[in-house]
Structure 1
Amino acid sequence: MTRSPYELSTPPDVLARLHPRLRTYFGPVPPGHVGRGEGVFDVVGTPRRWLWPLLAWFARDAVVFPVWERDVPFTVENRPARVHRGSGTSLEARVAVRAHRTFRFRSGARTMVDAITAEPEGLVDHLGRRGRVSALLRTEVDGTGPDAGALRLVSTRVTFRALGREWCLPALIAPRVTLTERFDDDADLQRVSLVLSAPVVGTLYRYEGAFRYEIAPDTERG
């Protein structure tokens, strides 16, 4: 079985500290299968309405949405995929996990799309249907403390693809992504928290909630 992007880009001793129930989520999804989760987000979006026009622009590519809602039902589907990276003779098909997170807002369902790949420089998240925005992620797993066994992803570089090339955003203005996934043994739930922030401005967007997850045959794809 092909290893997942997380396994390809993260030292084995780091992944060994993962909670056993998270290893299914961050391990490979076998061909012909789908990783499927269902739960509720306690909050999604931002109450700063002056940011909504900017978020609406990114919503057109299924990255984030101009909302601020509580108790939002959602589903997530993770499927194995290949993402083509590079150009010309250096074009390669990278091992990837493509995720679709469907939020059931009061105004209707909206789906966030991204793809995780293992690149030579590390784990990269390509956001949106076109993957024009990418974030290089640092993987952390605490061995002790309140977050022992949880996986934390922190962006160290953000790039934007335009005019046939990738542009690296300067650290002074680049947004920062922090994603934490942990397993709650008492509730038998996987808990997730994502915060998108920017220098000076602070939090731009966030979601947090809990769900149950399993790997199952992908009957929708035959």
Structure 2
Amino acid sequence: MTPPPQSPYARALGERIDDLHPRLRAYFEAIPDGAVGIGDGVFQRVGTPRRWLWPFLRLLERRGVVAAVWECDVPFRVENRTIASRAIGERTFHFDRGPWTMRDAAALTRHGRVVDELGEPGLVAACFDVEVHQGALHLVSRAVGVRLGRLRMRIPAPIAPLIRLTERFDDALDRQRMALTVDAPFLGRVYEYRGDFTYRIHHSEKEQTT
């Protein structure tokens, strides 16, 4: 019998996945076939107040990577699926100007790290170390690259941005919290989003009746 697929995060963590908060394991383990993980919440802030960066960010925004905004209290929905052992995610932000969707696909490298491709078609890719501290998941980028046509180019380390993502569960609020920051050499913080949400696994009606 074919073993069930594992998510890239579960494979990267191995036995360490048991160190995650139990409610986080449902988020980072594989989503069953035909099901979708759905999270609804609010980001306390999204984007960057450095408006001089927005013209560049708009180019990335059109490809579903990041948004050229600086807004607070932004409702959002995340939808997660596991397809061919890849973690596929869509995050829809409901900005004042209307909805915008960020897409990503995470896989496991042969070195046991998670590589996350952002936008369409994988315009930006970041390779992460995966750690667990006090029940929370921490991702820290080791390398960042971009796709130029058919070519992939790694951004040299001295000028590459540093991406940090933390996911933890707040028992007092009964909600999951996430915080992503992007810091660039010489510039400091150039992008972020942070907020909290509830999460559930939604099975198709066909599965529920079988």
CA distance in 2, matches of 1:218, 1:173: 45
Q: CA deviation at 1:163?
A: 4.2
DSSP 3-state at the match of 1:11: helix
Aligned twin of 1:129: 120
Quick one: which of 6, 18, 33 aligns to 2:9? 6
DSSP 3-state at the match of 2:159: coil
Q: How does 1:37-52 map to 2 (within 5 A)?
A: 37-52=39-54
Q: CA deviation at 1:218?
A: 4.1
Structure 1 residue runs of 5 or longer lacking an equivalent are 83-94, 143-147
Quick one: which of 68, 71, 74 aligns to 1:69? 71
Whichever residue aligns with residue 168 of structure 1, its letter is R
% identity of equivalent residues: 47
CA distance in 1, matches of 2:103, 2:149: 22
CA change 1:179–1:218 in 2 (3 A) is: farther
Cα deviation, 1:107-155, whole Å, max 9, x if unaligned, reads 000001001111212210001021021100001111xxxxx10101010
Aligned twin of 1:35: 37
Q: CA deviation at 1:192?
A: 0.4
Query: Does the 8 Å contact 2:165/2:179 carry over to 1?
Result: yes
Query: What's the TM-score once normalised by structure 2's chain length?
Result: 0.93
Cα deviation, 1:53-100, whole Å, max 9, x if unaligned, reads 111010011000110000000000001224xxxxxxxxxxxx201100
Structure 2 residue runs of 5 or longer lacking an equivalent are 206-210
Query: What's the TM-score once normalised by structure 1's chain length?
Result: 0.88
Aligned twin of 1:171: 157
Aligned twin of 2:194: 208
Q: CA deviation at 1:39?
A: 0.3
CA distance in 2, matches of 1:107, 1:163: 30
